[in-house]
Amino acid sequence: MILVVNAGSSSVKCAVFDGDLKRVTTLKATEIGGASRIGGLPADLPDHAAAIEAILTALPVDMARIRVAAHRVVHGGADMTAPVRIDRDVRARIDALSPLAPLHNPVNLAGIDAIAAILPGLPQTASFDTAFHTTIPDVASTYALPEAWRARGLRRYGFHGLSYAALARSLTGIPRLLACHLGNGASLCAIADGRSVATTMGYSPVSGLVMGSRTGDIDAMAVLRMAEEAGIAETGRILNHDSGLTALGGTNDMRRLQADAPKAVEAFIYWAIRHAGSMIAAMGGLDAIAFTGGIGENSAPVRDAIADGLAWAGRVPVHIVPADEEREIARDARALTGPFAPGDGTR
């Protein structure tokens, strides 16, 4: 079996798949370091290591049958463009990229280290959210900065790549697909013949659409003013945690916003449509739209409003695709570790 670990800043989600990529079970720990819960029940989880240990104890599977632990890692930089088996060098490279994703890579490493401590000797793999976007052309990924700064890694990377890879796998044969991953984190991706050619997120997941708690696009000079007055750390916290729908409507819950803060919903839809025009231009047209993520899958009014706002590009099929990042990660791990025996494989 394959254990998939998806570590967030204050949560960990673990899923188990058999060798045929059928989901066996899933369990999530939330509010790590605070009012922690596992599967909705209170738990004492001071850190990610404690959370993962508690999840592995609670999962209704025989840990001896786990063949590999597979991790979502948000940032792979410009070099790690495909899934990899984790060794000391790969771990160091993921760590070195932490300044590019300070809210994500450190907790991804915490998950990797926790598995290494709890299940020593178990092979581990990493799948990168940035990898799907390495097909974006240089003209789209390059910021117009002095070369010295570009050499330090300042460029557009793009995120939600595992979600988009799974979506593209399920919707084949569409020449020009506008993919909309709409949730607390939200982005768009122009997928031409199965390959990413443009996306709304950039150097970090802050840019692009209005999101649950992230600003989306904001003028750099506005950020500098905030940094001067509030400090760099506080500005980063505001941009990532106190902005977006939370700032405009007091919550990131789309159902509550539709009832109580329609102007915030209007902003979310407006910027999705406006950025979608850019994605359509990058592909030279549009053949289909696909929605995924919590809002994309569950909010018909938001989907309909975005599709109506793009009617100028032609009436095209609209698909709703359940997000399936964990299965995509499990698929990567299976490919890296070789064929499984009939059933789920036993290490």
Q: Which residue has the tokens 């992230």?
A: 214
As a whole number of angstroms, the distance between CA 277 and CA 313 comes to 9
129 among known catalytic residues: yes
Coil, helix or strand at residue 236: helix
As a whole number of angstroms, the distance between CA 32 and CA 9 comes to 8
Catalytic residue (one of 79, 87, 89, 129) = 129
Is 66 labelled as part of a ligand binding site?
Answer: no
Is 298 labelled as part of a ligand binding site?
Answer: yes
Q: Is the dihedral of CA 247, 10, 322, 239 positive or negative?
A: positive
Return the bridge partners of 70, or none: 4, 125
Is 147 labelled as part of a ligand binding site?
Answer: no
Is 105 labelled as part of a ligand binding site?
Answer: no
Coil, helix or strand at residue 63: helix
Pairing of strands 37-38, 41-42: antiparallel
As a whole number of angstroms, the distance between CA 105 and CA 212 comes to 20
Is 295 labelled as part of a ligand binding site?
Answer: yes
Is 296 labelled as part of a ligand binding site?
Answer: yes
Is 185 labelled as part of a ligand binding site?
Answer: yes
Is 72 labelled as part of a ligand binding site?
Answer: yes
Cβ contacts of 298-306, under 8 Å, gap ≥ 24: 298/254, 299/182, 299/254, 299/255, 299/258, 301/258, 302/182, 302/254, 302/265, 302/268, 302/269, 305/269, 306/180, 306/269, 306/272, 306/273, 306/276
Q: Which residue has the tokens 């370091």?
A: 33
| Torsion of the alpha carbons at 129, 105, 101 and 266, rounded to the nearest 10 | 60
Is 34 labelled as part of a ligand binding site?
Answer: no
Is 294 labelled as part of a ligand binding site?
Answer: yes
Is 255 labelled as part of a ligand binding site?
Answer: yes
Is 184 labelled as part of a ligand binding site?
Answer: yes
Is 253 labelled as part of a ligand binding site?
Answer: yes
The beta-strand segments (E) located in the chain are: 2-7, 12-17, 23-30, 37-38, 41-42, 68-73, 84-85, 124-128, 176-182, 186-192, 195-199, 288-292, 318-320
The binding site for substrate consists of 72
Binding residues for ATP: 13, 181-185, 253-255, 294-298
Active site residues: 129
Annotated binding site for Mg(2+): 6, 325
Residue ranges of the annotated binding site are 6, 13, 72, 181-185, 253-255, 294-298, 325
